[in-house]
A and B are shown apart, each in its own frame.
Chain A
Amino acid sequence: MDNILKTLTAEQRTRIDDEVRDAYDFDPRDPLFGLSRNDLSGSEMKRRTVLRLLAAGGTLTALQLVPGVLGGSGELQAAGKAGGTLTCGWAGVGEIRTIDPAQINQVLQFQIASNVLSGLMHIDASLVGKPDLTEGFEVSSDGTEYTFKLREGVTFHNGDKFTADDVLFTYNRSKDPKKSIHSRILKNVKEVTKVNDYTVKFKLGRAQASFLTKTLERASGRAMTIVSRGGIEKLGVQQYGLTPVGTGPFKITFHELGQGVILEKNENYYDPSRPKLDKVIIKPIIAAEPLAAAIEAGDIKLIGGNPPAAELIDRFKSNPDLVVKEAPGPGFQAVWMNPHRDPFKVADFNVPLPELMKQKGFKVRLAIAKALDRERYLKQARFGRGYPAYGSINPAMGYYFDENLGDDSNQKFDVKEAQKLLAEAGFPGGKGFPELTLGATVQNRRDAQVVASILKRNLGIKVKVETKDSPVLLQDFLAMRYDMMRIGSGGDYDPDDGVVDWMQTNSKFNGAKRDKSKMKFGYWSEDEADKLIATQSVEANVKERKALVQKANKITSDKVACAFLYHPMDIKVWHKSVNVPAESLIPALVDLDRTTLS
């Protein structure tokens, strides 16, 4: 990352630094982040406004301001011809089970949905929400009331007109847990009212910085991705799940599970200059070798879906016909140790660290965390694709990521210290250490073997890798039925996704299905971390929030909630005959509306 910054001229660097400083310069108590209502309302946001919002969301980094990296920064793209058919392979998946936003639970699904359906807002390459089906909006001075002016003259693929009723229909459908799995996202929305056919008003429970970029986002939020009432009524929910009707740049003309999806140009898209392509064919390809063969043979020209297997990337990079883009991906992966089982037993994490350090069970936990040679792991298991992790806050979150945690954390890699801790816990050189099992999904077995090998090499302990189908493994994880487990999180764009979902006593993953009469907490419970995490999620001041997040993150690291392993990398691959403009390079998305063929 820093390498890119180093290539800049001094003048460019100064300008970028100024912009970042300006963006973060606002009164934290101001729900409008120092912007005027005029700045926030209207059809086009000024660059300064965009950067401010980015800063308010905590996702602004200097990197994003480098020319050519931040989408829409005025850079001209080599334009290809309009028209043509693009065939894509969706990696690591056998079928696209659903494209109905209400049911979508995988990134590879909303990658397609984002090309077919629209939302009120859509994030751009720098994760800023831009108006999609709106012409502009106004925010009340306390930041709890948003009034949207909807785009007029938009039609669904079936010819129905898009109006305020469709926003209400989508809202009512999504907040009903019977119909949508995303009802939770709408908890802060108290009311949605129709002012007239092209004006709607959202009333929030409290001001929420991520409202525009998360709740209303067309792809990743999935709760307010506008669905067609007429489409659902005519097709039925099942068929709608396969061939949803939307207002997006492409319409679905074919979808057979396991066979693939065909998108065709929506001639009536509200922006007549988009999409450029006539047709997009999407084929699911589950195995790595056939995927590589397909793109090398030119059967497919672009890879979407799950990130292609790490071992293929060097091969793709050495192929002059292919373009490979790498960037930090959202998520963290870890090795979990059950604190209710020997030799990891910790009865209570709520004691000062020095005291915790004296306990046998904690010594073993820390020894394992310190013995994890993350560099070696990344090289062997991920072919160098990934970033060492010491906490749940990932580098894709930009502003909140703590670059120094690797050096400051108690978990810092140190074999000697790890061996010493293990010896102090009564297992010198690994002698007498029980043979434990390390659970992993079938997909992660390679990965887990490397962890086992590193522990054997550095601590002399034997860990038996046990793979299970994910439904079984996840159940074991939630019920705390494991010695050690290799599991982690993906799609974390906001600090809440890391710390709230994983690191609080009541986090949804924290032993939610354990036997509560026998286990007081799940894998981890710490009062101070709980408090910090609760405070940060309602903290409007990003500087404050950053401090809170990083402090909580460090506690989870120092007190070994788990042994953090790595953060993933977002990798995009396409054939050089495909032109993907920089503004379409949205992390984890595959928006094809601006893509052309040459």
Chain B
Amino acid sequence: MTRYMLKRTIGAVIVMWAVATLVFFMLRIVPGDPIAAMLFDVGDPAAAEEIKEKLGLDKPMYVQYAKWFLLVLQGDLGNSIYGSNIQVNRLIAEAAPRTLSLATLSFIVATMIAIPAGLIAATRKNSNLDHGVTFFAFLGLSMPDFWLAILLIIVFAANLHWLPAIGYVPLSEGFWPWFSHLILPSIAVGTAFSAIVARMIRSAMLEVMKSDFMQVARSKGLRENTLIMIHAFPNALIPVVTVMGIAFALLMSGAVVVENVFSIKGLGRMLIQGILNRDYPVVQGTILIISAIFVFTNLLVDMVYTLIDPRIRYDK
């Protein structure tokens, strides 16, 4: 077990290194000169050369790579090309809480809807309620998140004025300001996720309820509700955990698009802006962090999975 986990962790780190390297070189072979664009209005070629020299962009690519790699090993992701050359570390430290707030809240909102919906659908199989849940789950899966985001802004912000249309307020400025800014984006991001989880819970519940040990429990005369909550539900959660890695990917992808609609400068928005501006260090850093979050979430999911499902052993 320990050996397996160690192996997985090392594997994860190697994957991240490969990702970072790939991103580094891919970004530099494509056309687009960020400095020229930045100085387009100022138009001083001398300034362009100076800036390139200052940022080390005049050196051969492999030198740039070696330099960058050494810095990354020390935990320094470099500096943004634009403006006052802010450290990427700092940008990420500012953006990550926004994305994580959004992802966490989406996760909570989505599970809060998905679990009861899935349970109800499973325990009342083929009822109208079940069909209703299934239909809404399908609907949730089929709506583009950015479209949902726009509709939410129009209805709840522009017309009803119930919630703010855009932006993010840190938790330190109070719970409600933080929460109110995240409600609409969380719904937009969490809907598809909620649909998946509801469907997973429903089918897992149906499976568990058919199983032998449920028959035994039932024959012992336990009440149906106890049966469902104490015996069936926890077992049904096991397969659900396996999709959490995927779910996280879904939340992150959703965040990329939805952050753009709601003007929240999270990791997703940072990535898109960085790519569009050819801000190499920002893109490299963001990609590295997103892949780190993703790889380690998957690793964590695996570990949790082995803990809650004793049937699985890693002997290889």
| Chain A positions near chain B (C-beta within 8 angstroms) | 94-95, 97-98, 100, 103, 105, 177-178, 180-184, 237-242, 256-260, 283-287, 289-294, 296-299, 442, 469-472, 474-476, 478, 490-491, 501, 508-509, 512-513
Contacts and interface: CB of A to CB of B under 8 A. Distances in A.
Nearest to B31: A472
A260 B40 CA distance: 25
Interface of B: 31-34, 36-47, 50-51, 54, 79-80, 82-87, 91, 94-95, 150, 153-154, 157-158, 161, 164-168, 170, 260-265, 269-270, 273, 276-278
A531 B87 CA distance: 47
16 contacts: A105-B39, A105-B42, A177-B46, A181-B51, A183-B47, A184-B42, A257-B86, A283-B167, A285-B166, A289-B154, A290-B262, A294-B166, A299-B164, A474-B37, A490-B41, A513-B36
Nearest to B161: A297
Contacts of A509: 43
Contacts of A296: 158
Given A103-B84, A289-B150, 6 more contacts: A105-B38, A237-B84, A238-B85, A242-B84, A290-B153, A469-B32
Contact of B265 (A95, A476, A491): A95
Contacts of B42: 105, 181-182, 184
Contacts of B31: 472, 475-476
A259 B178 CA distance: 13
A177 B47 contact: yes
Contact of A469 (B80, B86, B278): B278
A444 to B, nearest CB: 14
Nearest to A476: B31
B270 A475 contact: no
Nearest to A184: B44
A292 B168 CA distance: 17
A192 to B, nearest CB: 20
A290 B165 contact: yes
Contact of A470 (B37, B43, B154): B37
Contacts of B158: 289, 292-293, 296-297
A177 B165 contact: no
Contacts of A257: 86, 91, 94, 265
Contacts of B85: 237-238, 241
A442 B276 CA distance: 10
Contacts of A298: 161
Contacts of A297: 157-158, 161, 164-165
A451 to B, nearest CB: 21
Contacts of A184: 42-44, 46-47
Contacts of B94: 256-259
A284 B158 CA distance: 18
B34 A258 contact: no
9 interchain residue pairs of minimum CB distance: A241-B84, A258-B265, A97-B83, A98-B83, A293-B165, A508-B43, A471-B37, A471-B32, A290-B166
B157 A293 contact: yes
A35 B51 CA distance: 43
B153 A181 contact: no
Contacts of A238: 79, 84-87
A95 B31 CA distance: 24
Contacts, number: 154
A498 to B, nearest CB: 13
Question: Which one of A181, A260, A490, A508 has the greatest number of beta carbons of chain B within 10 Å?
Answer: A181
A301 to B, nearest CB: 14
A287 B261 contact: yes
A89 to B, nearest CB: 9
Contact of B263 (A105, A237, A284, A490): A284
B183 to A, nearest CB: 15
From B51, B94, B158, B264, residue with most partner A Cβ within 10 Å: B158
A491 B278 contact: no
Nearest to A468: B32
B43 A293 contact: no
A291 B94 CA distance: 23
Contacts of B86: 238, 241-242, 257
Given A292-B158, A471-B278, A474-B36, A285 B263 contact: yes
Contacts of B261: 287, 290
A240 B44 CA distance: 23
Contacts of A287: 166, 260-261, 263
Contacts of B170: 259
A112 to B, nearest CB: 12
Contacts of A472: 31-32
A488 to B, nearest CB: 11
Residue in B34, B54, B83 whose Cβ sees the most chain A Cβ within 10 Å: B83
B269 A94 contact: yes
Contacts of B260: 286-287
A252 to B, nearest CB: 13
B83 A103 contact: yes
A29 B102 CA distance: 66
Contacts of A258: 94-95, 264-265, 269-270
- Residue with the greatest number of chain B CB neighbours at <10 A, chosen from A257, A283, A291, A472: A257
Contacts of A474: 33, 36-37, 40
A481 to B, nearest CB: 9
A237 to B, nearest CB: 6
Contacts of B40: 474
Given A258-B265, A290-B261, A471-B34, A105 B161 contact: no
Contacts of A94: 263, 265, 269, 273
B192 to A, nearest CB: 22
Contacts of A291: 166
Contacts of B264: 258
Contacts of A290: 153, 165-166, 261-263
Contacts of A182: 42
Given A242-B84, A257-B265, A472-B31, A181 B273 contact: no
Contacts of B39: 105, 181
Contacts of A183: 44, 46-47
A491 B40 CA distance: 12
B50 A178 contact: yes
Nearest to B266: A258
B79 to A, nearest CB: 7
B46 A471 contact: no
Contacts of B80: 97
A468 B146 CA distance: 22
B76 to A, nearest CB: 13
A57 to B, nearest CB: 21
